[in-house]
Structure 1
Amino acid sequence: MAKPNPLSLYFIVSSLSLIIACNADASKGNHDFSYLEDSSNGPTKWGSLGTQFKSCSDGESQSPVNIEAKKAKDQPYDLKRSYKEAPAKLFNRDHAITVEWQGDAGGIEVNGTAYQLFQCHWHIPSEHTINGKKYVESPSIYTHFVHGHDAEIHFVHIDGNDQKAVIGFLYTIGKADPFIEKLSESKLKAIDTNGNALGKISASSATSGSKKYYRYRGSLTTPPCSEGVTWTVADTAKSISKEQIELLKGPLDHGFKENARPVQELRGRTVTQFGDKE
């Protein structure tokens, strides 16, 4: 994969970090929106909360979506990963727990375009569905989703033109996730306003493990719901423990404990699939 100059990538990430923070975390500090279905600022009302959010209701290619595996069209392999260790910090962005890399953490190449890894964050339960799997609450102390997925992680990448590419992995309840374990329980329970330093970490192992991926064009799943995002969603679910789900939910504000946007209509978009060659 042809790599841009690392120094150039660092300045791209540095100069655009505020833009991404605003796009991915529009709720920071003012709670403009929530995930409470019956509230005046819930998911179905996002588009009416301000002109900057209009894409949430008027957009033609919104995310997340339901992926029907049998209808996904085959395409050539198109996901080259090239991650490396870099300093990172853990943040509570009010609506989601995020890991934000502070330097050149490598990235991916999609259709010949290089994207730099900027951050990852979690949604509980999952936002995307595969083959229409729905969620059913259990009477336990946590919310478990029968025949569905309990959480989803998004790795957000950006290119030199502020275009975004996201890789999504779904989780089901089971063994603890090794990547989340690296964050440590103490740092998740008490996140400083300036972020908790995690040392140098890599997204390499956390973004592998699936034999098949789905690809489609969509949007950010939080306001302002900006479109033009290249989505890659893994077919194979990762494992997460009940305790880890509670740790990720614990620091979040009311209205964001369950922070998954409902599935949006495909509106004629094509979903493709390809196998992993790495």
Structure 2
Amino acid sequence: MKNIILFVTFLALSYSSLAADETETEFHYKKGAEADPEKWASIKHEWSICGMGKRQSPIDLTPQIARVVHNSTELLQTYYKPVEATLQNRGYDMMVSWEEDAGKIVINGTDYKLVQSHWHAPSEHFLNGERLAMELHMVHKSAEGHLAVIGVLFREGAPNPFISRIMDKINSIADIQGGKASIGRIDPREFGWDLTKFYEYRGSLTTPPCTEDVMWTIINKVGTVSREQIVSVVDARRGGYEANARPAQPLYARTVYLNE
């Protein structure tokens, strides 16, 4: 009987470890707890840059810290197309991924293929010292493995049309970590953002391992999201992920560009 108990315990621990690796749940956001953002750097050696890095994200974006440029259409171009998409509850966020090639962005002549999109609530980036209600991240990757993320900020207000379209799917997997739901053909442009004015800077992943290899583009025009939508997205996250936003990081000597 003792051997059976030990074997079952080993299986449970192995499954727990596997789940942590698959869902990246070895970190969370609950302030003061063992794995909160201030302690990410000490959890694993390969996460040390979370505390030591000089190009960490998110940051507070203001015109005062930015260098203004006027060639946005040359710097960033989008080429998207509608393909079948899936919504997944990863436990720490809600993610939309595409089953086929949904297009790309081109930054300074480099192609970055769209990989997935997900939401943070509240926002991770600050705008003029203000943390907003929500932030969308559209994650792209180049052939060399470099990342480019477009961030869209939202205030509480009118419902967001795209979230309204998939609200029933969000609610259907809110209680299922790892749960997935087909959401049909989705054109990435349906997320609804305006590239006429945006901030751009070199930063990092906002979750461990905090790798400093991300070109960030944060749209200056703020959208809206309803209270019901915020609650629905946040309700899918529990156990330290209810507020999945990393604190703002020091700018250090980086240059931030404001494209107008």
TM-score (norm 2): 0.86
Whole-angstrom distance in 2 between the partners of 1:230 and 1:61: 11
Of 199, 210, 225, which residue of structure 2 is paired with 1:240? 225
Q: CA deviation at 1:37?
A: 1.0
Whole-angstrom distance in 2 between the partners of 1:93 and 1:252: 8
Of 110, 115, 120, which residue of structure 2 is paired with 1:118? 115
1:32 corresponds to 2:26:
yes
Counterpart mapping for 1:84-123 below 5 A = 84-123=81-120
1:60 corresponds to 2:43:
no
1:213 corresponds to 2:198:
yes
Three-state SS of the structure 1 residue aligned to 2:229 is helix
Q: Which runs of no fewer than 5 residues in structure 2 stay unpaired?
A: 1-18
Of 117, 132, 135, which residue of structure 2 is paired with 1:152? 135
Q: CA deviation at 1:207?
A: 4.8
Whole-angstrom distance in 1 between the partners of 2:149 and 2:20: 18
CA change 1:51–1:231 in 2 (3 A) is: same
TM-score (norm 1): 0.81
Name the structure 2 match of 1:176.
Answer: 159
Q: CA deviation at 1:29?
A: 4.3
Three-state SS of the structure 1 residue aligned to 2:230 is helix
Whole-angstrom distance in 1 between the partners of 2:198 and 2:24: 36
Three-state SS of the structure 2 residue aligned to 1:183 is helix
Name the structure 2 match of 1:15.
Answer: none
Structure with the larger helix share: 2
1:74 corresponds to 2:59:
no
Q: CA deviation at 1:30?
A: 6.2
Whole-angstrom distance in 2 between the partners of 1:269 and 1:212: 20
Q: Which runs of no fewer than 5 residues in structure 1 stay unpaired?
A: 1-24, 134-147
Q: Which amino acid aligns with 2:52?
A: D
Name the structure 1 match of 2:10.
Answer: none
Q: CA deviation at 1:60?
A: 1.4
Q: CA deviation at 1:132?
A: 1.4
Of 35, 46, 51, which residue of structure 1 is paired with 2:40? 46
Whole-angstrom distance in 2 between the partners of 1:238 and 1:98: 19
Mapped contact 2:90–2:179 kept (Cα < 8 A): no
Identity of aligned residues (%): 37
Mapped contact 1:28–1:94 kept (Cα < 8 A): no
Whole-angstrom distance in 1 between the partners of 2:192 and 2:103: 12
Mapped contact 2:136–2:151 kept (Cα < 8 A): yes
Whole-angstrom distance in 2 between the partners of 1:123 and 1:27: 21
Mapped contact 1:53–1:224 kept (Cα < 8 A): yes
Q: Which amino acid aligns with 1:237?
A: V
Three-state SS of the structure 2 residue aligned to 1:70 is helix
Whole-angstrom distance in 2 between the partners of 1:207 and 1:177: 9
Mapped contact 1:26–1:222 kept (Cα < 8 A): no
Mapped contact 1:27–1:94 kept (Cα < 8 A): no
Three-state SS of the structure 2 residue aligned to 1:188 is helix
Moved segments of 4+, more than 6 Å: none
After superposition, what is the alpha-carbon deviation per residue over 1:241-264, rounded to whole angstroms, capped at 9, x for unaligned? Answer: 000001101111221011000000
1:250 corresponds to 2:232:
no
Moved more, 28-37 or 63-72: 28-37
Q: CA deviation at 1:107?
A: 1.4
Three-state SS of the structure 1 residue aligned to 2:55 is coil
Whole-angstrom distance in 1 between the partners of 2:138 and 2:50: 21
Of 194, 216, 231, which residue of structure 1 is paired with 2:216? 231
Name the structure 2 match of 1:127.
Answer: 124
Of 159, 178, 183, which residue of structure 2 is paired with 1:198? 183
